[in-house]
Amino acid sequence: MTGDLRVLGMISGTSHDGIDVAAVDFAVHDGVLHGTVRYTATTPYPGELRARLMRALPPAALTFAEVCELDTLIGQAFAEAAAQAIERAGGVDLICSHGQTVYHWVDGRRALGTLQIGQPAWIAERTGLPVVADVRARDVAAGGQGAPLVPLMDLLLLAGLPGRPAALNLGGIANLTVLRPPGGGGPIAYDTGPANALIDAAAVRASGGRCRYDADGRLAAAGRVDQRLLAHLLAEPYYALPAPKSTGKELFHAAYLEEAVAAYPGLGDADIAATVTALTAETVAAQVRKYEVDTVIAAGGGCANPTLMAMLRERLPGVRLTTTAEFGAPVDAKEAIAFALIGWHTAHGLPGAVPSCTGAAGPRVLGAIVPGAGPLRLPEPLAAAPTALRLTDAMGAA
């Protein structure tokens, strides 16, 4: 086998609650990339750091001093999470850190810039290993959205799956990868809208800040969908934009929810939670129907919300809804695995984004590399990219 490398992927997503890590052994055999997931974990942010980060997110205004301090503190938190993961995984060769997105600058359909913080030098200094970081900026510079980047994994992992499958990620924001859209053409991927972003905001609102999310969907399950509020939310212009497109908490944040709810006084907390959960289900289902998808393979924190998953199933009769666990990728570690995969591609001189999904002018090798303790030594570039990915979850199911 060639391309042997153990990569640690790291990301804190749009829920901003902690750092997901995944250590994956990669090797190529007969054009197929084989990955064995050796270790996965989530390290919550320290309470004060998370509170400080949440106060700094849009629509808040920031000083450069606060950006610098958060970049350092989050970099140190990533470094600690990396050191723990390396010890428990038995060592790695390379780290790919997505960092923490704090702003995604979008004007209509056009992405103008993106900012992830969590200074990778702290990771390199703590571990002595090279770190691939700042992975979205190159795609944006090439005219792309810089998001979503998980389609690289989706296309390889689901290669050969019959019919018209799609991969769905339910993080803070929902994104969909359609492998074979009707009418031909390349695969497409884009953010459909909020997944947990507004659900989390509703839970925080209902609990006075004591709960960060709707555990097991219980709050939404206790309420009824308010059709007036749902129609108001569905009128958001973002949903009508054609793909490729991307969004984030720059748009779908707590103040956005408050403004919408203010138009319908008297709504109970449970009804608000039920309505924003239905919003996620409806906006995702509309896109699944649009592209005549027959199988949805889901991942992300939303998979642990039975109320959301039930609403999705209700809106998608005849569509098979399963998770990436069936394909060797734990649902709560898919994005960390995806960034380990991107790191592997970067190390071997291979593009890490799919132009038909991000809208970039062409494929680009992603990220900047921060050297480790010694001279930077990368593997020999590969002449051809793998055509499929086969994952085995050594931590659990295969």
Contact 161, 296 (CB under 8 A): no
For residue 97, list its beta bridge partners.
10
Q: Is 263 exposed, middle or buried (0-12, 13-18, 19+ CB in 10 A)?
A: exposed
Quote the CA–CA distance of 14 and 253 in Å, as a whole number.
11
pLDDT (0 to 100) of residue 109 = 78
pLDDT (0 to 100) of residue 17 = 87
Give the three-class secondary structure for 348: coil
Q: What own/partner pairs with CB < 8 Å and gap ≥ 24 does 260-264 have?
A: 260/229, 260/232, 260/233, 261/229, 263/229, 263/232, 264/226, 264/228, 264/229, 264/232
pLDDT (0 to 100) of residue 251 = 95
DSSP state of 382: P
Taking CA atoms, 390 is separated from 11, 29, 248, 266, 305, in Å, by: 22, 11, 30, 51, 27
pLDDT (0 to 100) of residue 1 = 53
pLDDT (0 to 100) of residue 15 = 82
pLDDT (0 to 100) of residue 384 = 93
Q: Residue 287 is encoded by which pair of tokens?
A: 């896109």
Of 295, 5, 258, 246, nearest in space to 132 by CA: 5
Q: What is the CA radius of gyration of the chain?
A: 20
Q: What is the residue type of 41? A: A
Q: Residue 165 is encoded by which pair of tokens?
A: 């499958």
- Ordered structural domains, the chain, with CATH: 2-149+330-393 (3.30.420.40), 152-326 (3.30.420.40)
pLDDT along the chain (398 residues), means of 10: 88 91 97 97 96 91 96 98 97 98 89 97 98 98 96 96 96 96 92 97 96 96 98 98 92 96 96 98 98 97 97 98 96 97 98 96 98 95 95 77
Strands 131-133 and 368-370: antiparallel
Find the DSSP H helices in the chain. 47-56, 64-89, 120-127, 137-141, 151-157, 197-207, 218-221, 227-234, 254-261, 269-290, 306-315, 334-347, 355-358
